[in-house]
């Protein structure tokens, strides 16, 4: 689907889901999302060349704390995508714009709150992670600067959610390329070129988020049709806000638990010493690369499932689930194979510290396997977000997290860091399987209630 929607009612009503349609959304967003782990790869490489294990470990903890905060607000992107996709399927252009403005206002308010509360949030994060004094100093420098970008970062969630909801994959790619490209270039220039180190990495992120938000606002708002502009009373209607907050609450809980699981992994890794923590930080970038490959397919599922729901057309829903699952597992298998073959070279690019390279190589197969164990989880997330089955998604995440905690308790004492990575892979598998088991009943309920199958 192109970045520009030609007709006023294009997208409304029954439609056919094809491999081409799935990939038209998934490929641009996969390319766009791949620039995000490139930031992590770049930042890790910069920190790895500062000649200090504290720099690499401090950056890892700072990134985890910040991701825990902003990632908890990923519901802004997800809920916007699902609701806009459903409005798109109904041909309700007025509601599309209303959803966008509601999400943008909420995003800016939440981002401002994060910035104002940042001293308390940083103290809490350092208390939970319990790093050494040298690592804590690096984390504080990184976090204090990067948190200034919170309002812009959350606004970009709403912007991306809107364009994804309309299936505008190329626009999504453009926005991600602007944000992440500027981030990468300035992080290198400021961090290494000017010798600002960790502070330069953080300022590069701030600049990328800010310029990306301004570009996104210009692109999205300039395409709005004034004939469908919603009144302020429509945007802030109580029933609409109540429904949005209910959806956001469930997705926020799910996202918070997900990122909390990664934070627990980092905390346990930290207790094993700076060397293991640094090695896991390098390997988590491999997991993120796999995740962003799969996220492109999840975005295709979100848009196509949401559109099918809006159009009240079950054949499109069934086909969207089938094709996105096929491509998700296919890409997952290819990604795992590539990292098993070339993973050692990737590790070598990320750090010049020989001890970290050696330690990371021990656990490389576990990191590579996440692309397969996570394939169904990512795809099912997309299905549930597009269908706005938020309460079921929340409940299945809580069930998977319980299984993850049991796996940690069983395997970490037995196998150390190998057990930690095993538990992560099981957590990913639990998520996908638990969600997939709920699909048949929820689908039957949805389409029998609307009377069209």
pLDDT tens across 91-119, in order?
888 888 888 998 999 999 999 999 998 88
Q: What is the pLDDT of residue 7?
A: 41
pLDDT category, 10, cuts 50, 70, 90?
A: low
Q: What is the mean pLDDT of residues 15-29?
A: 88
Least confident range of 220-224, 230-234, 245-249? 230-234
- Cα separation, 428 vs 381, whole angstroms: 11
Among 201-215, 219-233, 319-333, where is mean pLDDT lowest? 219-233
Q: Would the pLDDT of 385 be above 50? A: yes
The reported pLDDT for the residue numbered 435 is 96
What integer is the mean pLDDT of 266-291? Answer: 84
Torsion of the alpha carbons at 226, 231, 235 and 240, rounded to the nearest 10: -110
Q: How far apart, in whole angstroms, are the C-alpha atoms of residue 175 and residue 163?
A: 10
Q: How far apart are CA 250 and CA 79, in angstroms?
A: 10
CA dist., res. 162 & res. 99, Å (int): 8
d(CA 185, CA 156): 19
More confident call, 258 vs 151: 151
pLDDT of residue 431: 95
Residue 74 has pLDDT above 70, yes or no: yes
Examine the pLDDT at 424 and tell me if it is beyond 50: yes
Q: Is the pLDDT confidence value at 333 over 50?
A: yes
Helices and strands: H and E segment counts in the chain: 17, 0
If one counts every other C-beta atom within 10 angstroms of the C-beta of residue 177, the result is 15
Summary mean pLDDT of the chain: 84
User: 169 versus 414: which is more confidently predicted?
Assistant: 414
In 3D, which of 158, 191, 184, 188 has the Cα closest to residue 80? Answer: 158
Instruction: Lowest mean pLDDT of 25-29, 132-136, 266-270, 294-298, name the range.
Output: 132-136
pLDDT at site 415: 92
Tokens of 305: 């499932």
Cβ(290)–Cβ(150) below 8 Å: no
Which of 32-41, 176-185, 289-298 bottoms out in mean pLDDT, i.e. has the lowest?
A: 32-41
pLDDT for the residue 183: 84
438 by Cβ neighbours in 10 Å (0-12 / 13-18 / 19+) ranks as middle
**Rounded to whole angstroms, how far apart are CA atoms 94 and 68?**
34
Our CA angle for 188, 121, 289, nearest 5°, is 40
- Residue 41 CA to residue 286 CA, distance in Å, equals 9
Report the range out of 2-11, 137-146, 296-305, 338-347 with the highest average pLDDT: 296-305
Give residue 373's pLDDT band: very low, low, confident or very high (50, 70, 90). very high
pLDDT of amino acid 141 = 81
Q: Over range 114-135, report the average pLDDT.
A: 79
H or E segment to which residue 45 belongs: helix 19-48
At residue 323 the predicted structure's pLDDT band, cuts being 50, 70 and 90, is: very high
Report the largest interatomic distance among the alpha carbons of the chain, rounded to a whole angstrom: 65
CA-based nearest residue to 57, from 309, 272, 323, 329? 272
**Mean pLDDT of all residues in 215-229:** 85
Other Cβ atoms closer than 10 A to 7: 8
Region 4-20 average pLDDT: 65
pLDDT at 118: 83
Dihedral sign for Cα atoms in the order 30, 34, 35, 40: positive
Total residue count of the chain as it appears in this document: 453
Residue 326 buriedness (CB in 10 A; 0-12 / 13-18 / 19+): middle
Q: What's the rounded mean pLDDT across residues 436-451?
A: 83
Work out the percent of the chain whose per-residue pLDDT is above 70.
90
pTM comes to 0.79
Token output for 94 = 């007025």
Task: Supply the pLDDT for residue 41.
Answer: 64
Q: How many CA atoms lie within 13 A of 230 on its CB side?
A: 19
User: Closest by alpha carbon to 90, among 10, 197, 152?
Assistant: 10
Going by pLDDT thresholds of 50, 70 and 90, the confidence category of residue 273 is confident
Q: How confident is the model at residue 352 (pLDDT cuts 50, 70, 90)?
A: confident
CA distances from 74 to 109, 122, 386, 417 (A): 14, 20, 14, 29
User: Tell me, what's the pLDDT at 3?
Assistant: 37
Looking at per-residue pLDDT, the higher value among 202 and 307 belongs to 307
pLDDT category at 177 given cuts 50, 70, 90 is confident
404-437 residues labelled b (16+ CB within 10 A) or e (exposed) = beebbeebbeeeebebbbbbbbbbbbbbbebbbe
CB atoms within 10 A of CB 337: 13
String of DSSP letters for 262-308:
HHHHHHHHHHT-HHHHHHHHHHHHHHHHHHHHHHHHHHHHHHHHHHH
């Amino acid at each position: 689907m192109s970045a520009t929607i030609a007709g006023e009612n294009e997208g409304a009503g029954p439609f056919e889901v094809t491999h081409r349609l799935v990939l038209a959304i998934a490929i641009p967003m996969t390319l766009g999302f791949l620039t995000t782990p490139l930031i992590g790869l770049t930042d890790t490489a910069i920190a790895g060349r500062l000649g200090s294990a504290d720099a690499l470990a401090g950056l890892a903890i700072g990134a985890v704390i910040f991701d825990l905060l902003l990632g908890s607000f990923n519901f802004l992107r997800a809920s916007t995508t699902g609701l806009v996709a459903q409005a798109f399927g109904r041909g309700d252009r007025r509601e599309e714009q209303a959803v966008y403005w509601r999400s943008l206002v909420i995003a800016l308010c939440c981002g401002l709150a994060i910035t104002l509360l940042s001293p308390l949030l940083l103290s809490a994060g350092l208390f939970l992670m319990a790093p050494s004094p040298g690592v804590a100093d690096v984390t504080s420098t990184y976090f204090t600067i990067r948190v200034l970008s919170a309002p812009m970062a959350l606004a970009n969630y709403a912007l991306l959610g809107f364009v994804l909801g309309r299936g505008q994959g190329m626009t999504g790619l453009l926005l991600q390329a602007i944000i992440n490209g500027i981030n990468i270039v300035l992080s290198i220039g400021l961090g290494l070129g000017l010798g600002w180190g960790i502070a330069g990495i953080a300022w590069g992120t701030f600049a990328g988020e800010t310029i990306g938000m301004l570009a996104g606002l210009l692109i999205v708002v300039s395409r709005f049709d004034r004939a469908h502009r919603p009144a302020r009373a429509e945007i802030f209607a109580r029933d609409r806000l109540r429904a949005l907050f209910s959806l956001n609450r469930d997705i926020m809980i799910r996202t918070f638990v997900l990122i909390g699981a990664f934070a627990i992994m980092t905390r346990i890794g930290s207790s094993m010493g700076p060397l293991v923590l640094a090695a896991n930080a390098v390997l988590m970038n491999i997991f993120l690369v796999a995740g962003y490959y799969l996220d492109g397919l999840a975005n295709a599922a979100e848009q196509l499932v949401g559109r099918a729901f809006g159009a009240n057309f079950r054949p499109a829903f069934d086909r969207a689930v089938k094709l996105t699952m096929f491509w998700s597992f296919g890409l997952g298998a290819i990604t795992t194979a590539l990292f098993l073959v070339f993973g050692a070279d990737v590790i070598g690019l990320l750090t010049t510290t020989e001890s970290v390279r050696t330690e990371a190589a021990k656990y490389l197969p576990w990191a590579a396997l996440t692309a397969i164990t996570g394939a169904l989880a990512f795809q099912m997330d997309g299905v549930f977000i597009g269908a706005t089955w938020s309460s079921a998604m929340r409940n299945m995440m809580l069930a998977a997290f319980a299984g993850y905690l049991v796996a940690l308790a069983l395997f970490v004492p037995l196998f150390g860091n190998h057990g930690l990575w095993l538990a992560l892979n099981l957590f990913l598998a639990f998520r996908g399987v638990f969600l997939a088991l709920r699909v048949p009943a929820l689908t039957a309920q949805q389409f029998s209630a609307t009377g069209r199958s």
